[in-house]
Amino acid sequence: MALSEDQRTRFYDYCDCHQTVFKDRVVQEFFQQDQHIELLVNALDGNAEEKRALEDRFRKHFFRIRFIKYLLSTIKYCTLDQMRKQQKLDINMPLIFDLPLKGEGGSSTLGERLTNSTQLAQAEPICPDPARFVDFLSNEQLAQAFSQLSQKQQQVTMLCYALSYKDNEIAKMIGVSPQAVGKTRNLALRNLRQAMTGRR
């Protein structure tokens, strides 16, 4: 129910007479609702029931704000406590991968050395045999279409789609340019599509 002009005027007059009270943000938020203003105006007219309802609603409003503040404070201090514990743990128990290698002058860590060695090992991958790959194809029509491709097309298709290598990686493996890999792959896909759909 909307406030009447008279109720709103009386409320503003009451605010002017009690400016100290209405400077409080809790009180300001409480009286943002017209229902609470109406209860206040009726309580000022001597309505005891409206006064009790107003006091009850304000208690609930105040409790809600205090409870939210308590939750925020708890979350804040728990977070700070967890950060302090993690910081102490990082100091007392550093990760082995982050430790500098002895005799390296502190220039590299174990993690960096292992990562570099893994990358070196991956630089020269072994190319699987496309003929054996056909045996893993469950679709007979696809297997037959794949076997009709040239050996180079089979190799590029297998490395790209079965083993998820990129064009530049495949190019290094088979000793051609990335553009040649892309061209071979597109040709292989076109041949597979034609073989499976019967279109030319």
Residue-wise pLDDT tens digits, 164-197: 888 898 888 888 998 999 999 999 888 888 887 7
- CA gap 190, 181 in Å, rounded: 14
pLDDT of residue 120: 44
- Structure-block tokens of residue 75: 């979350």
- Minimal CA–CA distance to 168: which of 154, 158, 179, 157? 179
- Minimal CA–CA distance to 155: which of 127, 183, 193? 127
Which residue type does 105 have? G
- CA gap 193, 195 in Å, rounded: 5
- CA gap 50, 190 in Å, rounded: 82
Q: Which residues of the chain register pLDDT less than 70? A: 1, 92-128, 198-200
Domain-by-domain residue ranges, the chain? 5-89, 130-197
- CA gap 195, 25 in Å, rounded: 76
- CA gap 47, 193 in Å, rounded: 86
SS3 labels along 56-119: HHHHHHHHHHHHHHHHHHHHHHHHHHHHHHHHHHHHHCCCHHHCECCCCCCCCEHHHHHHHHHH
pTM score: 0.41
- Structure-block tokens of residue 7: 């109720």
pLDDT of residue 27: 92
pLDDT of residue 54: 92
pLDDT of residue 3: 85
- Minimal CA–CA distance to 36: which of 47, 50, 49? 50
The residue with tokens 């009709």 is 148
Instruction: Reduce the DSSP state of residue 137 to 3 states and report it.
Output: coil
- Assigned CATH topology for domain 130-197: Arc Repressor Mutant, subunit A (1.10.10)
